[in-house]
Amino acid sequence: MSMALAALGIDLMLPAFPDLRQAFDLPADSTAVAGAVTAYFLGLAGGQLVYGPLADRFGRRPALYLGYGIYAVGALASALSPSLAVLYAARLIWGLGAAGCRVITFAVIRDRYEGERMSRAMSFVMAVFVLVPIAAPAVGAVITAVGGWQWVFLACVVAVVGIATWAVRLPETLHEEYRLELRFGRILAATRQVVSHRQSMAYTLAMTALYGVFTSYLASSEIIFGQAFGAADTFPYLFGGLAAVMGGAMLLNARIVGTFGTRRLSHVVLVGYLVAAAALLALALATGGRPPLWAFLLAMAVLLSGHALLIPNFNTIAMDPMAAIAGTASSVIGAVQLAGGALLGAVLDRAFDGTILPLAWGFVLYGILALALVLWGEDGGLFEPLRGSPQPATASSARTGRS
């Protein structure tokens, strides 16, 4: 549920976009409100760099509760925003708080699991994370209709307080031998270990490319369903249905990853993902960017299922060699993929022309980029089992700067 808080900060507000445009005197077709999603993702990315070193020094629990507090402040400030510019700033702060919830979740998983077991645990956590988008748009639509867009943000304040109360049960998972000093040199050495590790960075950058098109889908889905398909009234249900497909795919991943292997499964899915992306682009080009809604939903179900299978497995492969510096590694990996993904997604958002063509091109081009990065990380080979890192990160190398 801590992971789910990050999704709640996005998906609950999507049905409130029309009210936000009206409140801030924007045209009915303006994409400016999508900047609130981009600002949130930038905060989510920038905050990653803070929580990891704190978690490696003081433990997972203190860093987690710092994130909870900042999350609540950002959500409350968003509800009280008098202008779009202030909303952007508040959403940035909100994202900084959500970053703590995300970083610590991944660090705790790495503390407790490795290999295929880590991939299974990651899939279960991500499946719960995806349960929020299933219900959030519909809940957000009800809250907006009853109380206005401000109450959507206040609902997130209530949510984080409730989850923070429940998380009192969470034990400290940082191993004492992995507790690291909070010094710039030490942090720099640990960061250098992450960015110089070919496997970790290849899969981190591949996730960045995939996050680029995924964040664009999140930010522009409301206007795509409304303008390209005339389905604004049913948007919460269509969006939630696709999120349910993602959740099911993540649960499937948890069941089959032990049979096929993390690396082999992710490579097969990536190839299939590119085939589906090419099919969607061909359909979009043939229909002037406005295919039948059922065909678009079918293609999106396949592509989002691909994301659901790739993201937890890519995260596992990137984090697997980083046991001794799990907090810092989670920070660096998360910052790169979310900041890069938000910027790549913003490029697609700006290209929106009332059709699905920019999004379809995004799936193809960013998917090809992800495949190229995986090939680089694997020295041109694919479909091999998950293997141990030849030079895993160690606590001593994090302290001395050697990797």
Tens-digit pLDDT profile for residues 203-234: 999 999 998 998 888 778 888 998 889 888 88
| Selected residue with higher pLDDT from 13 and 323 | 13
Between CA 360 and CA 356 the distance in angstroms is 6
Q: Say what percent of the chain tops pLDDT 90.
A: 32
Task: Give the rounded distance of the alpha carbon of 11 from its chain centre.
Answer: 12
- What band does 129 get if pLDDT is binned at 50, 70 and 90? confident
pLDDT at 116 over 60: yes
- 364 in Cβ contact with 278 (< 8 Å): yes
Q: Across residues 335-341, what is the average pLDDT?
A: 81
Name which of 10-14, 156-160, 277-281 the model is least confident about.
10-14
Tens-digit pLDDT profile for residues 21-65: 888 888 877 778 878 888 898 888 788 888 888 888 888 899 999
pLDDT at 300 over 50: yes
pLDDT at 100 over 70: yes
401 CB-side CA count, 13 A: 6
Gyration radius of the chain over CA positions:
20
Give the pLDDT of residue 386. 52
- What band does 133 get if pLDDT is binned at 50, 70 and 90? low
Maximum CA extent, the chain: 60
Give every CB contact of residue 146 below 8 A, 6+ residues apart in sequence: none
Tokens 């694997």 belong to which residue?
378
Give the pLDDT of residue 391. 42
Average pLDDT, the chain: 84
- CB-CB neighbours of 176 under 10 Å: 7
- 15 in Cβ contact with 155 (< 8 Å): no
- 28 in Cβ contact with 18 (< 8 Å): yes
- The answer to whether the Cα torsion of 329, 331, 332, 334 is positive or negative is positive
- Using H for helix, E for strand and C for coil, what is the string for the chain? CHHHHHHHHHHCCHHHHHHHHHHCCCCCCCCHHHHHHHHHHHHHHHHHHHHHHHHHHHCHHHHHHHHHHHHHHHHHHHHCCCCHHHHHHHHHHHHHHHHHHHHHHHHHHHHHCCHHHHHHHHHHHHHHHHHHHHHHHHHHHHHHHHHCHHHHHHHHHHHHHHHHHHHHHCCCCCCHHHCCCCCHHHHHHHHHHHHCCHHHHHHHHHHHHHHHHHHHHHHHHHHHHHHHCCCCCCHHHHHHHHHHHHHHHHHHHHHHHHHHCHHHHHHHHHHHHHHHHHHHHHHHHHCCCCCCHHHHHHHHHHHHHHHHHHHHHHHHHHHCCCHHHHHHHHHHHHHHHHHHHHHHHHHHHHCCCCCCHHHHHHHHHHHHHHHHHHHHHCCCCCCCCCCCCCCCCCHHHHHHCCC
Give the pLDDT of residue 400. 45
Give the pLDDT of residue 298. 95
